[in-house]
Amino acid sequence: MTTDHPAVTLREIALTFLKLGAISFGGPAAHVALMEEEFVRRRGWLTQQEFLDRLGAANLIPGPSSTEMAIYIGHSKRGWPGLIIAGACFIIPAAILICFIAAAYVRYGSVAQVGSVLYAVKAVVIAVIVQAFWKLAQTAVKTKLLALIGIISGILFAFGFNSLVVLLVAGTLGVLPVLKDRLKDKSAGSAMAWLVALKPKVFTAKTLVAFVGTGGVLAAVPFSLWRLFLTFLKTGSLLFGSGYVLLAFLRSDFVVRLHWLTEKQLLDSIAMGQVTPGPVFATATFIGYILGGVPGAIAATIGIFLPGFLLVAVSGPLIPKIRTSVLAGAVLDGVIAGSLALMGVAAWQLGRAALVDPLTIAIACLSLLLLLRFRVNVMWLILAAVVIGFVHGTILPRP
C-alpha cells in the first residue's frame, strides 16, 4: 500500500469516486486526466510516479483501463475495502444514469439527443487531457530513450496498431539498455532466468483467461441472465483496447452468435456508453437492461467489470516490487512512456472531433489556462460547459 501520504477514509474514497464517476466525460484518457488532477495535484494521495506506475499496469491488463486505475488507487490507500469501494463508486453513477436512458429507449425505441450539452463539455475534456499529459510527461520522460519510445509509440498508435502490441514494444525498448549492461557484465544468465521465470506465469494467465472465455463459446440459446453474465465476463477478461474493439466483441456475441440484438440496438448501446460520464464499458449496463430489465443490467455490469477487480487485486501488490527490480522497472518505464503516447494520440484525435468552431476552441483554451495557472476544480469547468452548451443549443443549431 502507498505510504507517506495523508490518511484516507473509506468515506472519502466513496464520495470522491462517486463525484468522478458523475463528471468523467470523454473516455479513458479523460478519466485518467481527471484522476491525476484529483489524486496527485489536489489531494496528494499519490505521487506522480506512483500514479504513472499504476497507469502502466492498468494498460497492460485486459478490461477498462480507467476503471482499473480507480481500483488501483482505492487499493493503494485502503487495501481490499478501498479496492471494492473505489471501483464500485466510479461505476455506479454511469450505471444508474444509463439505466434511466435504457428505460426510455425500451419504451420509445430511440434515445434523446444530448449533443448540445456535450458540444461544450467535450472542449473542457480536451483541456483536461492536455494538462494531465503535460504534467505526467514531465515525470515519466526521464531520459532521451523514453522520449524516443514515446514518439515511436505515438506514431504506431496513430497508424492504428493494437494498443497491447505497442505497449509490449515500448516495454521491450525500455529494457534493452539494462539488458545490454547485463550482457557487458556477463550477467545475461540472470536476465534470461528472470524471463524464463515469467514464462509459466504468462501461460498460466492465458490459460485462466481462456477458461473464463469458454463461458461465451456455446451454441445459440434463448436469453438467460446466466448466459448474459458469462458473455460479459468473457468480454471483460479478454478485451484490450478502445471502444471500437468493444464494438467488435459485442457484435460478434450479441448480434452474430446469440442474435439477441439488432445492429441498430448495438450501435445505440455503444453511443450511450460513449456520451454518458463514467466507464465506456457501461455500454454493458445498457445492453443488459434492454435485454433483461434491471436484473439484466446488474448481471451485465457485474460480468464485464468483475475481471478488472480480480486482476487489480492480484497485480496491485506486485507494483512496488517491480520498482525494486532494475530490469522490471525499466520495462515499466517503457510501458508508461507508451501509455502517455496513447493519451497524447487520444487527445489529438478527440480534439479534431471536438474543437469544431471558435467557441469550442475558446472554451478549451480558457479551460487549459484556468487549469494550469489557477488550478480551478475541473467539476466547475464541466458545470460551466454544461450551461454554455445548453444555452448555445437553444439559441443556435449545433454544428
Q: Where are the alpha helices (DSSP H) in the chain?
A: 10-23, 28-35, 48-60, 65-108, 115-140, 144-158, 163-184, 188-213, 225-238, 243-250, 263-275, 283-315, 318-324, 326-354, 358-373, 378-395
Q: What is the pLDDT of residues 76-111, one digit of tens each?
A: 999 999 999 999 999 999 899 999 988 888 877 655
Domain that holds residue 67: 10-209+311-395
The yes-or-no verdict on residue 10 having pLDDT over 90 is: yes
Q: What is the pLDDT of residues 153-172, one digit of tens each?
A: 999 988 888 777 888 999 99
Question: Which of the residue ranges 59-63, 91-95, 208-212, 342-346 would you say has the lowest mean pLDDT?
Answer: 208-212
Residue 185's pLDDT is 67
272 contacts 111 by C-beta, under 8 angstroms = yes
Residue 377 grid cell: 476544480
Q: What is the pLDDT of residues 18-31, one digit of tens each?
A: 999 998 887 788 89
Q: pLDDT class for 199, splitting at 50, 70, 90?
A: very low
Residue 20 lies in a domain: yes
Instruction: State the average pLDDT over residues 63-88.
Output: 93
d(CA 126, CA 200): 42
Residue 49 lies in a domain: yes
**pTM of structure:** 0.75
Residue 110's pLDDT is 59
Residue 23 lies in a domain: yes
Buried b (16+ CB within 10 A) or exposed e, 335-371: bbbbbbbbbbbbbeebbeebbeeebbeebbeebbebb
Residue 267 lies in a domain: no
Residue 152's pLDDT is 95
Residue 129 lies in a domain: yes
Higher pLDDT, 180 or 359: 359
d(CA 57, CA 63): 12
Q: pLDDT class for 150, splitting at 50, 70, 90?
A: very high
d(CA 104, CA 289): 11
Q: How many CB atoms lie within 10 A of CB 158?
A: 13
Residue 59 lies in a domain: yes
Residue 6's pLDDT is 64
Residue 296 lies in a domain: no
Residue 225 lies in a domain: no
- Provide the domain count of the chain: 1
Residue 115's pLDDT is 62
Residue 26's pLDDT is 73
Buried b (16+ CB within 10 A) or exposed e, 237-271: bbbbeeeeebbebbbebbeeebebbeeebbebbbe
Higher pLDDT, 279 or 72: 72
Q: What is the mean pLDDT of the chain?
A: 82
The yes-or-no verdict on residue 375 having pLDDT over 70 is: yes
Residues of the chain with pLDDT > 70, as a percent, come to: 83
Q: What is the pLDDT of residues 205-246, one digit of tens each?
A: 443 343 344 444 444 558 899 999 999 999 888 876 555 567
Residue 65's pLDDT is 86
